[in-house]
C-alpha cells in the first residue's frame, strides 16, 4: 500500500520529468562555479541500510534547521548524507499509479509518495544514495544548473574510476550509458535549500525495477556499475581494469570514495566527515 503524508507539495524538475533542453552540448556546460571553498558536513552511512522513512524525516529536520539559520541571518553550511536504503519504492507528488506493475494494496515493498517531482523509482541494497542538503545561495540559484551539476558528479565518477563513458540525454534528467540509466536524480528545493538527491546503482539487484516503469520511461533500461563491468569482462581492453572490482563491498567503497571526491570538486566544497553510528541514528528523533 502507498504510505501517504500530509505535505504541501511543489513539483521540481527531477530525473523522471522532462526538463528544458540544453542549448549547448553537455561537454560545453560550465558547471563549476569559481567561488571560495566552503565547508560541507558529511554523514557517512554508505555501508548501512537505512529505512527510507527515517532518512526522509532526517532530511526535512535538517532543512528546517537551515531555514531557521537563514531567518536569523546566520551562516547556513551545506550537508551531505550518503547511505543505502532497505528495498522501497518512492513516487513524486504527481506520480501515476499506472507506472506500478502491481496492486498497491499488495506491493512487494513499502511505497512512499514524496514531495519531490517525477515518477516512481526503486531504492535498495547496492545503490548509493546521496542527499545533498545545500543552500544554493552559496552556489548558484539555478535549478537547471543544480541538476546538471549532480549529473556531472556521476559522469566524472564513472569516467575517472571505472573508465565508463556516461552521458546525458537531452530532455531527460539522469546519467546514462547507452540506453541504460545508472543514476536517477530527484530533488525538492525550498527557499533555495535542496533535499532528496541522486541514487547510483552500483551492485544493485535490478529485478525490482521490472515491477515498475522506472521514471515513467517505458522504452529505457536500468543498469548498474557492476552489470556494466561484467559486460566488459569479455573485452580484453577492460580485463585489467575490472580485476580490482570483483567484490561487491569493495565496489561500493570505491564508488563511495569517488562520489565524495567528485562532489567536493564539482561543488567546490571541503568535505568534513561527521561520524554517526547506526545506534546513534536510531536514538535520534529522525
What average pLDDT does the chain have?
86
What phi, psi does 202 have (nearest 5°)? -105, -70
- Is 215 one of the annotated active-site residues of the chain? yes
pTM for the whole structure? 0.85
State how far the Cα of 236 lies from the Cα of 250, in Å rounded to an integer.
Answer: 22
Lowest mean pLDDT among 1-5, 55-59, 188-192, 271-275: 1-5
Q: What is the pLDDT of residue 78?
A: 97
Q: What is the pLDDT of residue 94?
A: 87
The structural domains of the chain, with segments of one domain joined by +, span: 38-274
Instruction: Summarize pLDDT for 101-160 with one digit per residue, the tens.
Output: 999 999 999 999 999 988 999 999 999 999 999 999 999 999 999 999 999 999 999 999
- Mean pLDDT on 152-174: 96
What phi, psi does 270 have (nearest 5°)? -95, 115
Provide the β-strand partners of residue 91: 113
Residue whose C-alpha cell is 580490482: 244
Q: What is the pLDDT of residue 64?
A: 97
HSE, CB side, 13 Å, CA atoms: give it for residue 149: 22
b/e sequence 240-277, b meaning 16+ C-beta within 10 Å:
eebeebeeeeebbebbbebbbbbbbebbbbebeeeeee
Candidates 3.30.930.10, 3.10.20.310, 3.40.190.10, 1.10.760.10; CATH matching 38-274: 3.30.930.10
Instruction: Summarize pLDDT for 40-61 with one digit per residue, the tens.
Output: 999 999 999 999 999 999 999 9
Amino acid at each position: 500500500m502507498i504510505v501517504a503524508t500530509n505535505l504541501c507539495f511543489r513539483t521540481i524538475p527531477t530525473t523522471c520529468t522532462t526538463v528544458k533542453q540544453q542549448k549547448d552540448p553537455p561537454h560545453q556546460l560550465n558547471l563549476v562555479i569559481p567561488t571560495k571553498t566552503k565547508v560541507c558536513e558529511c554523514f557517512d552511512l554508505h555501508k548501512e541500510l537505512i529505512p527510507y522513512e527515517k532518512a526522509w524525516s532526517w532530511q526535512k529536520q535538517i532543512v528546517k534547521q537551515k531555514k531557521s539559520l537563514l531567518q536569523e541571518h546566520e551562516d547556513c553550511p551545506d550537508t551531505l548524507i550518503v547511505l543505502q536504503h532497505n528495498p522501497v519504492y518512492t513516487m513524486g507528488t504527481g506520480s501515476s499509479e499506472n507506472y506500478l506493475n502491481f496492486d498497491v494494496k499488495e506491493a512487494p515493498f513499502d511505497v512512499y509518495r514524496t514531495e519531490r517531482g517525477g515518477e516512481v523509482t526503486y531504492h535498495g541494497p547496492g545503490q548509493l544514495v546521496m542527499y545533498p542538503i545545500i543552500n544554493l545561495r552559496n552556489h548558484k540559484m539555478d535549478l537547471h544548473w543544480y541538476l546538471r551539476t549532480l549529473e556531472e558528479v556521476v559522469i566524472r565518477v564513472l569516467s575517472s574510476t571505472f573508465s565508463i563513458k556516461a552521458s546525458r540525454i537531452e530532455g531527460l534528467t539522469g546519467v546514462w550509458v547507452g540506453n541504460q540509466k545508472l543514476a536517477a536524480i530527484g530533488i525538492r528545493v525550498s527557499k533555495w535549500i535542496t533535499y532528496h538527491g541522486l541514487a547510483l546503482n552500483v551492485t544493485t539487484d535490478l529485478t525490482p525495477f521490472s515491477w515498475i516503469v522506472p521514471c515513467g520511461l517505458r522504452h529505457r533500461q536500468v543498469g548498474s556499475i557492476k552489470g556494466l563491468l561484467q559486460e566488459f569482462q569479455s573485452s580484453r581492453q577492460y580485463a585489467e581494469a575490472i580485476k580490482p572490482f570483483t567484490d561487491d563491498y569493495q565496489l561500493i567503497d570505491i564508488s563511495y570514495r569517488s562520489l565524495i571526491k567528485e562532489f567536493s570538486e564539482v561543488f567546490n566544497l571541503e568535505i568534513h566527515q561527521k561520524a554517526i553510528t547506526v545506534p546513534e541514528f536510531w536514538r535520534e528523533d529522525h
